[in-house]
Structure 1
Amino acid sequence: MFNAFFRKISTRRFRRPLWIAAIVFVLIGCISTGLFFILKNSDAKGVISHREIAKLWNEGNIEKTIAESRKATEAFPFDEYYLSMRGISAYYSALDAQDEETRQQLLEESVISLRKALVIGVPSGMKAQIFYVLAKAYYQKGEPWFDLAERYFLLARNSGSKEKDLPQYLAVVYAGKKDYEHAIEWFELSLKGDTSDILTLSAAISYKNIGKNDKARELLASLETHATDAKIRLKAKLLLAQDSYESGDFSTALQRYEEILKEDPLNADAWYGLGLVYAKKNDQLGARAAFRKVVQIDPNHADARKRLAEKL
């Protein structure tokens, strides 16, 4: 009897609320669907399609691509394609920015848009490219962001990215983080193909920092004679002069510093190195004169000031 009574009570008490709840859910669903289509039709005014955005991009019209993708993401904030195109076009717009503030704003827009797209979910075929551009955006933001640049470059590579400069970026990122062991791994991979002067210089510095001085000298010597960028060629000469000084070959160091100063008379690093060489050769007057020249060129050169304050 107790069971029969319980079943009777259960039916009376709960059948009606269940029907009411079902009706309420249906009404809510209808209202939500209606509102969605109303808002969609309203927001879609003036928004171009995915195909049209892609056409603008393929035509090389970056300015129009970013303008239209911004408009599209305002109307459809959860559309991963519009977000992706906004992020990619913002990155390439940043490269052409005329001032640093605008550049950083565009890079931040790129990062936010691409990360939103990844959270929402982009097709697997797009992931490698999204990771790659996101990594470059973090790289362009500077060394404080190199950890994230490393993360997304590796994700791009593991997702199948075939970008030829990816090893070069990873090499420079690791060098910037002073992780020279990993930097060398990527430099060696990069140096197998066509390389730039700046990459070769970064590789030489990394080799030097892990004690592979012979390899560093080899790369610096090649830059000294073949670098097309005059600043990089001068930097290579300076590093070779420093290497001679550190090796105890003061005559070669002196010759190298003098050659640099013939080419660049206001090179404070070369004057400072010259002062160190004179000090080692017990030419105190020459050393002090060189250190004074450093301070004239760079009044904030702490090492030169310290040397002048010391009794040589």
Structure 2
Amino acid sequence: MISPLVSIQQLNSKSSISELWIVAKEYLKLGKLNQSLTIAYAAVQKDPSQQQLYKKHYIESVRLGAEFAEEIGDYSRSAYYWEQLTQQLPQDAGAWYGLGLAKANLQDYQGAEIALNRVLQLEPGNQKTRLHLREIQQLIRG
């Protein structure tokens, strides 16, 4: 196996597609999202039939980025990642919920309301979202 510390240029020229994916996944485990995506993209450049695998890897990377940013209180970055996910997966209630919470933490209550309403369109019985939405609406009304 190739060490994750190998330079991306070395990986591009010397590695098989399977080795690139192994290293991309290792970088993802280390939280190095940009490096992971760069290496995964190199696999697609070598073999365009890897496009679907890249899309899954991209989505996993963005979700991890959103969760990590949220965990450390970087709500601006978290909102950015959740927005990327909602664009890729418009039917993903979890992504809309994450976006709603990030927007609320940024005091963008209108944005939070829109995102949480989208969750309820996708999951009408989601009581936790309904509760958060009521709180947001109270903040909007003052």
TM-score where L is the length of structure 2: 0.58
Give the alignment's Cα RMSD to 1 decimal.
3.0
- Which residue of structure 2 aligns with residue 231 of structure 1? 56
- Which residue of structure 1 aligns with residue 123 of structure 2? 298
Distance 1:223 1:308, change over 3 A: same
- Which residue of structure 2 aligns with residue 106 of structure 1? none
Aligned residue for 2:65, secondary structure, equals: helix
| C-alpha distance in structure 2 between counterparts of 1:236 and 1:301, whole Å | 26
Structure number with the bigger relative contact order (C-alpha 8 A, sep ≥ 6) is 2
Q: How does 1:1-312 map to 2 (within 5 A)?
A: 194=19, 200=25, 204=29, 215=30, 217-218=31-32, 220-225=33-38, 226=40, 228=50, 229=53, 230-310=55-135
1:65-106, Cα deviation, whole Å (9 max, x unpaired): xxxxxxxxxxxxxxxxxxxxxxxxxxxxxxxxxxxxxxxxxx
- Structure 2 unaligned spans of 5+: 1-17, 42-49
1:121-159, Cα deviation, whole Å (9 max, x unpaired): xxxxxxxxxxxxxxxxxxxxxxxxxxxxxxxxxxxxxxx
- Structure 1 unaligned spans of 5+: 1-192, 205-214
TM-score where L is the length of structure 1: 0.29
| C-alpha distance in structure 2 between counterparts of 1:237 and 1:254, whole Å | 11
Percent identical pairs in the alignment equals 29
Aligned residues: 106
Contact 2:66 2:78 in 1 (8 A): yes
| C-alpha distance in structure 1 between counterparts of 2:71 and 2:64, whole Å | 10
Distance 1:280 1:231, change over 3 A: same
- Which residue of structure 1 aligns with residue 6 of structure 2? none
Q: Which runs of 4+ in 1 moved over 6 A?
A: none
Contact 1:224 1:234 in 2 (8 A): no
1:279 deviates by 0.8
Highest CA radius of gyration, 1 or 2? 1
